[in-house]
Amino acid sequence: MRNKLGKPVTQRQLRVGEMIKQSLGMIFVRNEAKVPNLETNSITVTEVKMSPDLKIAKAYVLPLGGEDAEEKINKLKEYSFLVRKTLSKKIFMKFLPKLIFTKDDSFEYAEKIENLIKQTNK
């Protein structure tokens, strides 16, 4: 696996990313971040990619059913400092990474490919 710069992703990046993914998942399930006007227990964290210096964590999230995805993700972006503060109590690192939330389009992309394959088989 390689990052955008073409360098291989290190084991440490993968390990820290997985640890943050699991912690974010638990924070969202328990609604611990207290994001105003947002029930986080319906949000799934599908993947967390770490920057090579481990200072930025890009979290790919998706609300269950995909309903109001943009609105919910924008709210997470706006209140990412609350999620980060809650995360700081769960994970002990020298530098807690900055959280960047983005919509996970991989399921839509996979469905699109699957539909194209079905159309060509007809």
Digit-coded pLDDT (tens) for 83-105 = 888 888 888 888 889 999 998 87
Of residues 85 and 112, which shows the higher confidence score? 85
Whether the pLDDT of residue 122 is over 80: the answer is no
Surface-to-core class of residue 89, CB atoms within 10 Å of its CB (0-12 exposed, 13-18 middle, 19+ buried): exposed
Average pLDDT over the chain, rounded to whole?
A: 84
| Cβ-contact 103, 67 below 8 angstroms | no
What is the CATH architecture assignment of 11-121?
Answer: 2-Layer Sandwich (3.30)
Whether the pLDDT of residue 9 is over 80: the answer is no
- Portion of the chain with pLDDT greater than 70, in percent: 93
Ranges 20-24, 48-52, 68-72, 94-98: which has the least confidence:
68-72
- How many CB atoms neighbour CB 70 within 10 A? 10
pLDDT at position 4: 61
Closest CA to 56 of 45, 48, 47: 48
Mean pLDDT for 59-85 is: 85
pLDDT at position 80: 87
Domain boundaries, the chain: 11-121
3-state secondary structure of 120: helix
Whether the pLDDT of residue 112 is over 70: the answer is yes
Element housing 85 (H / E): helix 80-88
* Model pTM above 0.85: no
